[in-house]
Structure 1
Amino acid sequence: MAVSLQPFKRGLAAIALLGLALPALAETTVSDAWVRASVPHQQSTGAFMTLTASSDSKLVGVESPVAKTVQVHEMTMNGDVMGMREVKAVELPAGKAVTLDPNGLHVMLMGLKQQVKEGEQVPLTLFIEDTKGGKQTLQVQAPVRPLNAEAGGGHDHMHMNH
Structure 2
Amino acid sequence: MSLKSVFLVAAAAAALVGSAFADGAHKFMVHDQYARVSSPIAKAGAAFMAITNQTHADDRLIDVRSDVAARVQLHTHKEGDDGVMKMMHVEEGFAIAEGDTHMLKRGGDHIMFMGLNQALNHGDVVKVTLVFENAGEIEIEVPVDLERKAEGHGSHSN
TM-score (norm: length of structure 1) = 0.71
Pair 51,97 (structure 1): closer, same or farther in 2 beyond 3 Å: same
Aligned partner (choices 81, 85, 88) of residue 88 of structure 2: 85
Unpaired segments of 5 or more residues in structure 2? 1-23, 153-158
Specify the code of the residue in structure 2 equivalent to 1:104: G
SS of corresponding position for 1:145 = coil
Deviates more, 1:117-126 or 1:75-84: 75-84
Alignment of 1:110-149 (within 5 A): 110-130=114-134, 135-146=135-146, 149=148
Q: How big is the shift at 1:65?
A: 0.9
Alignment of 1:7-156 (within 5 A): 25-53=25-53, 54=55, 55-78=57-80, 79-88=82-91, 89-130=93-134, 135-146=135-146, 149-152=148-151
Alignment check: 8 A CA contact 2:30 2:49 kept: yes
Distance 1:37 1:122 in 2: 12
Distance 1:38 1:114 in 2: 14
Identical-pair percentage: 32
Q: Which residue of 2 aligns with 1:21?
A: none
- The Cα RMSD (Å) is 1.7
Specify the code of the residue in structure 2 equivalent to 1:137: E
Distance 1:38 1:137 in 2: 28
Distance 1:91 1:150 in 2: 26
Distance 1:52 1:60 in 2: 15
Q: Which runs of 4+ in 1 moved over 3 A?
A: none
**C-alpha offsets along residues 34-91 of structure 1, whole Å, 9 cap, x if unaligned?**
1014534311010001111122101011111110100011101124211011112110
Unpaired segments of 5 or more residues in structure 1? 1-23, 154-162
Specify the code of the residue in structure 1 equivalent to 2:102: V
**C-alpha offsets along residues 118-144 of structure 1, whole Å, 9 cap, x if unaligned?**
0111110111123xxxx4211111110
Alignment check: 8 A CA contact 1:64 1:70 kept: yes
Q: Which residue of 1 aligns with 2:5?
A: none
Distance 2:148 2:105 in 1: 11
TM-score (norm: length of structure 2) = 0.73
- The number of residues matched between the two structures is 125
Larger Rg: 1
